[in-house]
Amino acid sequence: MIRGRSALWSAVICVLAVFVATCGGAPAEEAKWRFYFGYLHSHTSYSDGALTPEEAYAYARDVAGLDFLGITEHGYYMVENPHHWDSLVEIAKRFTEPGRFVAFRGTEWTHGAGHISVIEAPEPCSRDVQISFDDLVAWMEGKNGIASFNHPGRNEQGNWDDFKYSLGGNRTIRLLEVGSGPYPRNTFYEASYIRALDRGWQVGAINSQDNHRADWGTAADTRTGVVARALTREDLTEALRAMRTYSTEDRNVRVRFTGNGKWMGEVLPLGQVDFEIDITDPDPGDAVEKVEVRSNRGAVLMTFRGSGDEGGPDRPFRRTFPLVPRQGYSWYYLRIEQRDGDVVVTSPIWVKSRSELMMVDLRFDVPFAKKGAKGYLRGDIVNLGADPMHGVIVEFAATAGEQRMPIGAVKTDVGPGATVPVSLEWACPVSGDVTVSATVIDPSIPAYTENVYSVPVRILPETLPKIVVDEGHNNRSSGFAGKFLDVLACAGYEGVLNQGRITADILGRASVLIVANPEPGISLTPTTFDESELAVIREFVAGGGALVLAGSSDASDPSRSVDQLNAILTSVGSSMRFSDDEVQQEKGSAVSSTVTCILTPEGEKVLGALSLPVRMTQACSIADDRFGDLAGRGGVLILVVGGEGTKSADTNGKGPCHLYASGPVVCASEDVGKGRVVAIGAPVYSVYDFRPDLGNEEFMLKLVRWLQSR
Amino acid sequence: MRASGAPCQGNQLKRVIVGVISVTLLVMLLAGFSSVSAGSKVTITFWHGMGSALGKTLDELVAEFQKQNPDIIVKAEYQGSYGALNQKIMAALAAKKPPTMAQAYGNWVAEYVKSGAVKPVEDFFAGPGGLSKDEIEDFWPELRVGCTFNGRMYTLPFNKSVAIYIYNLTALKEAGLEPPKTWEELLAASKAMTVVKDGKVTRYGMVLRPNVDYFANLLFTNGGRYLDPSGKKAAFNGPEGVEALQFMVDMLHKYKVAYYIPGYADADFGAGKTCGYFATSASYSYTDKAVGGKFEWGIGPIPYKKGPAAPVAGTDLVIFASATPEEQQAAWKFMKWLTSASQTAYWAINTGYIPVRRSALYLRQMKEWMAANPRNAASLNALKFAVTDPNIAEWQDIREIISQAVEEAFLAKATPKEALDKAAEKVNALLAK
Q: Is the pLDDT of residue B163 over 80?
A: yes
Q: Is the pLDDT of residue A206 over 90?
A: yes
- The pLDDT tens digits of the residues spanning A493-528 come to 989 999 999 999 999 889 999 999 999 888 889 999
Identity of the amino acid at A543? G
What 3-state DSSP class applies to A258?
strand
Interatomic CA distance for residues A44 and A87, integer angstroms: 12
Provide the shortest C-alpha distance from residue A224 to chain B (in Å): 29
Provide the shortest C-alpha distance from residue A48 to chain B (in Å): 7
Residue B155 neighbours by CB under 8 Å, 6+ apart = B104, B106, B109, B118, B121, B147, B316, B317, B318
Residue A449 neighbours by CB under 8 Å, 6+ apart = A439, A441
Residue B269, φ and ψ in degrees, nearest 5: -65, -45
Question: Which residues lie across from A392 on neighbouring strands?
Answer: A412
What residue of A is the nearest CA neighbor of B87? Answer: A48
CATH node for B42-161+313-383: 3.40.190.10
pLDDT in the model for residue A169: 96
Provide the shortest C-alpha distance from residue A688 to chain B (in Å): 6
Residues of B in contact with A524 (CB under 8 A): 187-188, 191, 255
Identity of the amino acid at B210? P
User: Can you spell out the DSSP letters for A637-668?
Assistant: EEEEEE-TTEEEE-TTS-------SSS-EEEE
In this structure, are residues A296 and A349 in contact, taking their beta carbons and an 8 Å threshold? no
Cβ separation B187–A524 shorter than 8 A: yes
Give Cα A398 distance to the centre of its chain: 27
- The pLDDT tens digits of the residues spanning A672-700 come to 999 999 999 999 999 999 999 999 999 99
Tell me the pLDDT band of A11, cut-offs 50, 70 and 90. low
pLDDT in the model for residue A304: 97
ipTM over 0.95 threshold: no
What 3-state DSSP class applies to A478?
coil
Name the pairing type of β-strands B101-105 and B42-48. parallel
Residue A687, φ and ψ in degrees, nearest 5: -60, -25
Give Cα A174 distance to the centre of its chain: 22
Residue A400, φ and ψ in degrees, nearest 5: -125, 110
Interatomic CA distance for residues B99 and A206, integer angstroms: 41
Residue B212 vs residues A20, A326, A347, B104, B127: alpha-carbon distances, Å: 69, 49, 40, 20, 41
Tell me the pLDDT band of B19, cut-offs 50, 70 and 90. low
pLDDT in the model for residue B20: 65
In this structure, are residues A474 and A518 in contact, taking their beta carbons and an 8 Å threshold? yes
Tell me the pLDDT band of A286, cut-offs 50, 70 and 90. very high
Residues of A in contact with B247 (CB under 8 A): 522
Provide the shortest C-alpha distance from residue A407 to chain B (in Å): 19
Tell me the pLDDT band of A9, cut-offs 50, 70 and 90. low
Strands (E), B111-179: 118-119, 148-149, 152-153, 156-168
Burial of A623 (0-12, 13-18, 19+ CB in 10 A): buried
pLDDT in the model for residue B3: 38
- CA angle, residues A46, A51, A57, in degrees to nearest 5: 90
- Burial code (b: 16+ CB inside 10 Å, e: under 16) for A473-496 equals bbbbbbbbbebbbebbbebebbbe
What residue of B is the nearest CA neighbor of A366? Answer: B199
Residue B177 neighbours by CB under 8 Å, 6+ apart = B185, B188, B189, B192
Provide the shortest C-alpha distance from residue A402 to chain B (in Å): 32
Identify the CA nearest to A377 among candidates A327, A431, A435: A435
Residues of A in contact with B83 (CB under 8 A): 48
What 3-state DSSP class applies to A338?
strand
Nearest CB among B250, B254, B415 relative to A617 is that of B415
Residue A283 vs residues A38, A185, A279, A418: alpha-carbon distances, Å: 18, 18, 12, 47
Residue A98 vs residues A61, A254, A673: alpha-carbon distances, Å: 13, 21, 90
Identify the CA nearest to A349 among candidates A222, A231, A259: A259
Q: Is the pLDDT of residue A78 over 80?
A: yes
Chains A and B form CB pairs within 8 A to the count of: 65
Residues in chain A: 710
Residues in chain B: 433
In this structure, are residues A416 and A440 in contact, taking their beta carbons and an 8 Å threshold? no
Burial of A129 (0-12, 13-18, 19+ CB in 10 A): middle
What's the whole-number mean pLDDT along residues B235-243?
A: 97
Strands (E), B59-121: 72-78, 101-105, 118-119
Segment (H or E) for A382: strand A374-383
Residue B134 neighbours by CB under 8 Å, 6+ apart = none
What's the whole-number mean pLDDT along residues A311-327?
A: 95
- The pLDDT tens digits of the residues spanning A454-497 come to 999 999 888 888 999 999 999 999 999 999 999 998 888 989 99
Across A47-51, B31-35, B376-380, the highest mean pLDDT is recorded for A47-51
Residue A385 neighbours by CB under 8 Å, 6+ apart = A167, A356, A416, A417
Asked, colleague to colleague, whether B42-161+313-383 and B162-312+388-432 share their fold, the answer is yes
Cβ separation A480–B253 shorter than 8 A: yes
Strands (E), B147-294: 148-149, 152-153, 156-168, 195-197, 200-203, 206-208, 258-260, 276-280
Chain A touched by B306 (CB under 8 Å): no
Residues of A in contact with B188 (CB under 8 A): 524
Chain A touched by B94 (CB under 8 Å): no
User: Can you spell out the DSSP letters for B288-312?
Assistant: HHHHTTSS-EEEEPPPBSSS--EEE
- Provide, rounded to the nearest whole percent, the portion of chain A with pLDDT above 70: 96
Residue A468 neighbours by CB under 8 Å, 6+ apart = A496, A497, A498, A506, A507, A510, A512, A513, A514
Q: Is the pLDDT of residue A210 over 90?
A: yes
Residue B352 neighbours by CB under 8 Å, 6+ apart = B161, B281, B282, B283, B284, B285, B376
Chain A touched by B289 (CB under 8 Å): yes
Chain A touched by B202 (CB under 8 Å): no
Interatomic CA distance for residues A606 and A583, integer angstroms: 24
In this structure, are residues A507 and A540 in contact, taking their beta carbons and an 8 Å threshold? yes
Chain A touched by B90 (CB under 8 Å): no
Segment (H or E) for A351: strand A349-352
What 3-state DSSP class applies to A319?
strand
- The pLDDT tens digits of the residues spanning A12-29 come to 554 554 444 444 333 335
Which parts of A553-686 fold into alpha helices (H)? 563-572, 601-607
Long-range (24+ apart) CB contacts under 8 A made by B58-64 are B61/B338, B61/B343, B61/B346, B61/B347
Chain A touched by B255 (CB under 8 Å): yes
pLDDT in the model for residue A338: 97
Nearest CB among B187, B199, B414 relative to A522 is that of B187
Which one of B250, B289, B294, B408 makes the best mutation probe of the A interface by having the most chain A beta carbons within 10 Å?
B250
Name the pairing type of β-strands B310-320 and B101-105. antiparallel
Provide the shortest C-alpha distance from residue A200 to chain B (in Å): 23
Nearest CB among A76, A80, A132 relative to B267 is that of A132
Name the pairing type of β-strands B310-320 and B386-388. parallel
In CATH, B162-312+388-432 is 3.40.250.10? no
Residue A675 vs residues A459, A467, A541, A546: alpha-carbon distances, Å: 31, 15, 5, 6
Nearest CB among B51, B84, B250 relative to A48 is that of B84
What is the rounded average pLDDT for all residues in chain B?
89
Provide the shortest C-alpha distance from residue A687 to chain B (in Å): 7
Residue A707 vs residues A533, A671, B65, B156, B366: alpha-carbon distances, Å: 22, 11, 81, 69, 71
Residue B224 vs residues B244, B406, B430: alpha-carbon distances, Å: 9, 16, 21
- The pLDDT tens digits of the residues spanning B372-398 come to 888 777 777 777 788 888 888 889 899
Nearest CB among A474, A480, A524 relative to B191 is that of A524
Q: Where are the domains of chain B?
A: 42-161+313-383, 162-312+388-432
Chain A touched by B264 (CB under 8 Å): yes
Helices B239-249, B395-410: crossing angle, 10 deg rounding = 50
Cβ separation A131–B183 shorter than 8 A: no
Residues of A in contact with B80 (CB under 8 A): 47-48, 76-77
In this structure, are residues A230 and A259 in contact, taking their beta carbons and an 8 Å threshold? no
The terminus-to-terminus CA distance of chain A in angstroms comes to 112
In this structure, are residues A174 and A140 in contact, taking their beta carbons and an 8 Å threshold? no
Residue A386, φ and ψ in degrees, nearest 5: -95, 0
CA trace torsion A475, A478, A483, A487 (10° rounding): 30
- Provide, rounded to the nearest whole percent, the portion of chain B with pLDDT above 90: 67
- The pLDDT tens digits of the residues spanning A298-316 come to 999 999 999 999 999 999 9
What's the whole-number mean pLDDT along residues B202-217?
A: 96
What 3-state DSSP class applies to A293?
strand
pLDDT in the model for residue B16: 66
What's the whole-number mean pLDDT along residues B93-122?
A: 93
pLDDT in the model for residue A10: 55
What domains sit in chain A, N to C, each tagged with a CATH number? Answer: 32-249 (3.20.20.140), 253-352 (2.60.40.1930), 357-459 (2.60.40.10), 466-708 (3.40.50.880)
Residue B127 neighbours by CB under 8 Å, 6+ apart = none
